[in-house]
């Protein structure tokens, strides 16, 4: 995991997508993917401007493999928390790829509906990546109703 203090948004409010993609491409080189042969690098900006990166870490017991998004969330939490505001992930060729379903849920938890996600077809809000998502608000709603 690497955390770097940067300004993720310019004066006009635009996300530095080129910088974010470059960070993900750098992260993919640190992936540990001896079983699948499919290294993934991920990068995101946090709401305070931090650039965070992660890479997948596989395990011979496949079920305990960590996706790049998981290591990215660990970097967020371990460096002070906050929320993701912009996210991308790439394969070994540096191509933008979509996070799997499990990771979409993980990203929702730490970025919410406002998170901007770089996809192979362009940047979209998290609500398009995971429509009708389940999140902390759903738990709160049930807890409040059962009181």
Tell me the domain boundaries of the chain.
2-145
pLDDT < 50 regions, the chain:
1-12
Q: What is the pLDDT of residues 10-38, one digit of tens each?
A: 444 689 999 999 999 999 999 999 999 99
pTM higher than the cut 0.75? yes
Selected from 3.30.470.30, 3.40.140.10, 3.30.460.10, 3.30.70.60, the CATH number assigned to the domain covering 2-145 reads 3.40.140.10
C-beta pairs of 80-84 under 8 Å, 24+ apart in sequence: 80/48, 80/50, 82/46, 82/47, 82/48, 82/50, 83/46, 83/47, 83/110, 83/111, 83/112, 83/115, 84/44, 84/45, 84/46, 84/47, 84/52, 84/110, 84/111, 84/115
The set of catalytic residues is 69
Give the count of beta carbons closer than 10 Å to the beta carbon of residue 49: 14
């Amino acid at each position: 995991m690497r955390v770097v203090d940067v300004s993720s948004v310019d004066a006009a409010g635009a996300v530095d997508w080129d910088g974010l993609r470059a960070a993900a491409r750098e992260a993919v080189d640190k992936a540990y993917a001896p079983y699948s042969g499919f290294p993934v690098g991920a990068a995101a900006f946090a709401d305070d401007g931090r650039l965070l990166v992660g890479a997948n870490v596989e395990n011979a017991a496949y079920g305990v493999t960590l996706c790049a998004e998981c290591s990215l969330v660990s970097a967020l939490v371990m460096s002070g928390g906050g929320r993701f505001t912009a996210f991308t992930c790439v394969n070994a060729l540096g191509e933008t790829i979509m996070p799997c379903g499990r990771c979409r849920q993980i990203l929702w938890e730490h970025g919410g509906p406002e998170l901007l996600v770089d996809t192979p077809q362009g940047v979209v809000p998290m609500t398009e990546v995971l429509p009708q998502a389940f999140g902390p608000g759903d738990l709160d709603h049930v807890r409040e109703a059962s009181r």
